[in-house]
């Protein structure tokens, strides 16, 4: 049986995807793995690059982008977790572990072996994630976090998490009170590198496709923890994450970010939230979304006017 099934969803990230796949196939250690790339209708030749340069990869080239969760589920099914009668690997059993991996990550040679050893040595773990760092060396704070409950979201929304990052209550959103080099049980790790035990997937099912992008990893961890598994952060493995390569400068990404916040809240907290707090949460999310979208619109207008030469003389074409 294959040790690890890796799903990478790509969208217009050809060069990053090439580097990511190269780092995956250069992995060292006594593990077997299968990679599936699901391309979400990229226009930059990503699918052709995979066919040409990584023929050992299972490739699913979608004709339209139906979202990150949908694409990951296609990859998971292709690797044998569900709908095995339609799987390209229909004769194989599902791997012991699954890995969701973003194309804007670079793995050190022993990352896969380290993380498989880590999860296999902790039978209580349903999900594990590594220490993710940004290109400047700073910790990607999303790599270990709490669920955005109304209380935790309140502290985040009103800036208390930034003012008091080392406070156990106020810093709960990104667990900034914890040493980043400390192994910890957390609520969630991020889908940029999320390794799961096969049994945990079988217990709760695949990703919820109501989430187009953002929030699906939180929701999956929530369901897996509710089923009795633990989610663990492993700082002994460090992975480079360029971050937001597919969604940068996108109003669609902004919209989906706030829609995911509302969807997660409605799904997991709305029924147990007092009436007055419920409408405070809803109003707060809409207010933040409106401000973010308005700021983005003004930024785009400014750049357009500047480029056209209507303000500050525009761009020097010489």
Over 80: is that where the pLDDT of 86 sits? no
Sign of the alpha-carbon torsion through 295, 299, 304, 306: positive
Cβ of 312: how many Cβ atoms within 10 Å? Answer: 9
Q: Give the model's pLDDT for residue 300.
A: 55
pTM as predicted: 0.85
What's the whole-number mean pLDDT along residues 243-248?
63
Contact in structure between 239 and 130 (CB atoms under 8 Å) = yes
Helix (H, G, I), strand (E, B) or coil at 218: helix
Are 203 and 227 in contact, with CB atoms under 8 Å apart?
A: yes
Model confidence pLDDT, tens digit, residues 280-316: 777 777 777 777 767 765 555 444 544 544 444 444 4
Q: Which two tokens stand for residue 208?
A: 């919820």
- Tell me which architecture the domain covering 4-145+187-241 has in CATH: Alpha-Beta Complex (3.90)
CB atoms within 10 A of CB 10: 29
Of 198, 197, 21, which is closest to residue 92 (Cα–Cα)?
198
Q: Calculate the average pLDDT of the chain.
A: 87
Q: Are 200 and 126 in contact (CB under 8 A)?
A: yes
* Pair 98, 224: CB distance under 8 Å: no
Any idea where the domains of the chain sit in the sequence? Answer: 4-145+187-241, 251-308
- Tell whether the model's pLDDT for residue 106 goes beyond 80: yes
- Whole-number pLDDT of residue 157: 78
Q: What are residue 128's DSSP bridge partners? A: 195, 232
Residue-wise pLDDT for 128-165, tens only, equals 999 999 999 999 999 999 998 888 888 887 788 889 99
């Amino acid at each position: 049986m294959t040790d690890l099934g890796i799903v990478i969803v790509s969208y217009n990230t050809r060069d990053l995807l090439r580097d990511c796949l190269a780092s995956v196939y250069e992995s060292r250690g006594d593990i077997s793995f299968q990679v599936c790339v699901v391309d979400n209708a990229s226009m930059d030749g990503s699918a052709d690059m995979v066919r040409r340069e990584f023929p050992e990869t299972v490739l699913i080239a979608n004709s339209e982008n139906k979202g990150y969760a949908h694409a990951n589920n296609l990859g998971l099914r292709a690797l044998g977790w569900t709908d095995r009668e339609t799987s390209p690997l229909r004769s194989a059993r599902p791997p012991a572990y699954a890995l969701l991996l973003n194309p804007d990550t670079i793995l050190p040679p022993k990352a896969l072996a380290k993380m498989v050893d880590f999860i296999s040595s902790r039978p209580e773990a349903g999900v594990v994630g590594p220490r993710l760092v940004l290109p400047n060396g700073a910790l990607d704070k999303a790599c270990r976090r709490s669920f955005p409950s109304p209380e935790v979201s309140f502290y985040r929304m009103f800036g208390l998490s930034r003012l008091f990052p080392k406070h156990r209550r106020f810093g709960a959103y990104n667990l900034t009170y914890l040493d980043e080099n400390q192994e910890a049980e957390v609520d969630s790790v991020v889908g940029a590198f999320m390794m799961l035990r096969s049994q945990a997937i079988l217990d709760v099912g695949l990703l919820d496709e109501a989430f187009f992008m953002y929030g699906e990893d939180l929701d999956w961890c929530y369901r897996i923890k509710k089923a009795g598994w633990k989610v663990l952060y492993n700082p002994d493995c460090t992975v480079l994450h360029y971050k937001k390569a597919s969604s940068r400068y996108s109003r669609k990404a902004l919209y989906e970010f706030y829609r995911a916040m509302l969807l997660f809240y409605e799904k997991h907290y709305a029924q147990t939230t007092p009436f007055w707090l419920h409408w405070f949460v809803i109003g707060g999310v809409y207010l933040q979304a409106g401000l973010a979208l308005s700021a983005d619109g003004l930024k785009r207008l400014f750049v357009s006017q500047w480029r056209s030469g209507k303000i500050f003389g525009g761009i020097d074409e010489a």
